Structure 1
């Protein structure tokens, strides 16, 4: 069984699970897909125990998904997410969204990393602080597809809905970029033997600054090219954007800058200048639809992969115990990362009473943290990070996703809102 066979299996089960969920379970897609995939993984484990020669887990463990996840999945999803960010549409909610996204990710990352580091130490699990920081950053990423589809089931105030959807779109990119920059800092330290604060700061600035400049360049290049392409040439415009994402990732790695930030910035430039009056013909509407479809397709596959992750993670009780501690730590960090910025901004602007609980509990984790954790080849503590990520994401999707309606009903006590299902 080759890696393409594994990908074919993921696509097959994604289609089957979407059909079952759509016509029978009728749950939000992220919840339904994860639930079915987890059930299937348990059945595969049981089947493999009786028939070892047909154990799918043994085939899955043979292949390294790191290159596929890093080179294609992460770049595509981050670009697609950024392409959907319309700063003009955010209007007067732009500042709160930016503050919640940037400051929130930093607070969440530091809180999770610190608490996980000391919790792991108390349990006798060896986990470095840099590994804890990487986990804190990647698990701070929320899933925009899952969140957007969930909040669309409610009629909320325009301000709150804009904050939730806008923060979700930016949050994922910022958190993933931060996690991979931290990984690069570790790699640089491992290469030179030791890295002082100045050296770490240089790697940080080089990755982010270089990625920012390269991303702006690729965004401008793509915008300039698309302006001269007839909108009827659908395949040409789509191929141009695909070429931008793939070549941008490759060149960013050659320059030793953040390829994920390049993807994000390219998407932001095309997504906003392509919608402007001066560039209304630059990016056709079908380009946005194509990338949205591609993002949702990959998101569905990643939710199935979350379930299949049970087949590759080490079944160690202490790792799972730390993972369940991480669930509560991540929830607390998310609340704190929303509470602090909103309290600070409340001095100069007003917020709905339900903003903090809805933003905190509605932050569903998705496939991006899973993709990042599985791409951390030869990173110290990867098995622990993968296990904790699995536990946190599954609990987030199933527990938070299934109880979010109760939080919305509490919010509805003070705000007129209609349940749309």
Structure 2
């Protein structure tokens, strides 16, 4: 199907589902879109069971879309840049050690715990996955998804410092998760890798991506500072995002990290020193609209992806087991880090609860799972990942505010609100 027809169908569905959500459900935008798309997919599956051909046609349409390519090399850069534009750099730097540790150590810990326990638990429910595939699942499901996180936190009304920890971690830990994923993926054909190769890959991806984002962001900043025309300046930011991702791909560095660093630079120094008030207003409106549009298409795609998955009984059982497993692994990694930082920084118990429950998974995990080599193990990992992501967005996303209110209500009357 031609690209324009695919985009037309997706945008029409996104518009229809947005209307249904806004008119009747009134859920947060990203959650509502995915929920309506999921129900729509289940209706199509039901019609298919009745002998109608709509399910097969819809499955062919979704199957023809390369979800991994569309997200990881298409929408992701724009969504990350739009999110990074509004993160205050000085506040982020105040929490740099906490956020950095959550993004690196937390992701590694969570990956290992999920992979090791998953190897045992999946076998118990009748799905004996190879050990390396369990580690791959741990690596792709450990990072919190910045797109899902920022989409839900807009309505959650968390304390500012706590929200910044969750957002800051999610902006950077996907790069760490991708590095772990690539390391384990390289072990599939050759089950031995030298530690120096792992270190070199991490430095190339993470440090190289940050350096590239800083360099290109500074170049764009100088260009923005030399003109005062919002049309030209918006084009410069678009070129920055697309050029950063393309160049990072050529240099084998992390495109997501490059775009986040560039977005932080433009959103802070660029906004303050290189833009007029009129440009800031137009730039914010443009990136907000693009962010909402791409988010709508992405979450509709996630909801429709159920049409092409294999839901065998062992896969379903493994997916249901994976939900508490992933939450447990994140809880352990958060507890370990909070206890360590408690020696130099004050935390409360609700920090652990909200960081655990607020660590949402989303499209990035699904995209990584879909990039695995074809085979039964890949089909199992994709289905398990999808089940965890659906629970994360719908279950955790819809109840995050309630968890926050419960934690607040548990404080004694008159007790001061803690600063996280």
TM-score, normalised via structure 1 length: 0.85
Any idea what SS the aligned residue of 1:284 has? Answer: helix
Flag the 1:378–1:263 CA change in 2: closer, same or farther, 3 A: farther
* Aligned counterpart, 2:35: 35
Deviation at 1:291, TM superposition (A): 2.5
- Once the two structures are superposed, what CA deviation does each residue of 1:256-308 show, in whole Å capped at 9, x if it has no partner? 222232222222322232245x4465973432443233223222222212211
* Aligned counterpart, 2:75: 73
Instruction: Give 1:291's match in structure 2, choosing from 287, 291, 298.
Output: 287
Does 1:400 pair with 2:396?
Answer: yes
For the residues of structure 2 that align with 1:57 and 1:23, how far apart are their CA atoms?
Answer: 28
Deviation at 1:228, TM superposition (A): 0.9
Instruction: Give 2:180's match in structure 1, choosing from 179, 182, 186.
Output: 182
* Aligned counterpart, 1:211: 209
Flag the 1:82–1:133 CA change in 2: closer, same or farther, 3 A: farther
Any idea what SS the aligned residue of 2:361 has? Answer: coil
Greater shift, 200-209 or 8-17, is seen at 200-209
Gaps of 5+ in 2: none
Does 1:115 pair with 2:117?
Answer: yes
* Aligned counterpart, 1:96: 98
Q: Does the CA contact (< 8 Å) of 2:82 and 2:287 recur in 1? A: yes
* Aligned counterpart, 1:56: 58
Greater shift, 255-264 or 32-41, is seen at 255-264
Flag the 1:117–1:73 CA change in 2: closer, same or farther, 3 A: farther
Flag the 1:253–1:406 CA change in 2: closer, same or farther, 3 A: closer
- Once the two structures are superposed, what CA deviation does each residue of 1:216-260 show, in whole Å capped at 9, x if it has no partner? 221121112111121xx2221121111122122222222222223
For the residues of structure 1 that align with 2:66 and 2:174, how far apart are their CA atoms?
Answer: 20
Q: Does the CA contact (< 8 Å) of 1:215 and 1:262 recur in 2? A: yes
RMSD: 3.1
Flag the 1:387–1:187 CA change in 2: closer, same or farther, 3 A: closer
Does 1:385 pair with 2:385?
Answer: no
* Aligned counterpart, 1:12: 12
Q: Does the CA contact (< 8 Å) of 2:73 and 2:245 recur in 1? A: yes
Q: Does the CA contact (< 8 Å) of 2:149 and 2:170 recur in 1? A: no
Any idea what SS the aligned residue of 1:51 has? Answer: coil
Does 1:26 pair with 2:26?
Answer: yes
* Aligned counterpart, 1:139: 141
For the residues of structure 1 that align with 2:391 and 2:88, how far apart are their CA atoms?
Answer: 31
Instruction: Give 2:89's match in structure 1, choosing from 70, 87, 93.
Output: 87
TM-score, normalised via structure 2 length: 0.85
Q: Does the CA contact (< 8 Å) of 2:140 and 2:181 recur in 1? A: no
* Aligned counterpart, 1:163: 162
For the residues of structure 1 that align with 2:252 and 2:258, how far apart are their CA atoms?
Answer: 12
Flag the 1:286–1:378 CA change in 2: closer, same or farther, 3 A: farther
Deviation at 1:328, TM superposition (A): 0.7
Deviation at 1:186, TM superposition (A): 5.2
For the residues of structure 2 that align with 1:379 and 1:73, how far apart are their CA atoms?
Answer: 27
Does 1:346 pair with 2:342?
Answer: yes
- Once the two structures are superposed, what CA deviation does each residue of 1:185-240 show, in whole Å capped at 9, x if it has no partner? 3565678896333333323322223223222221121112111121xx22211211
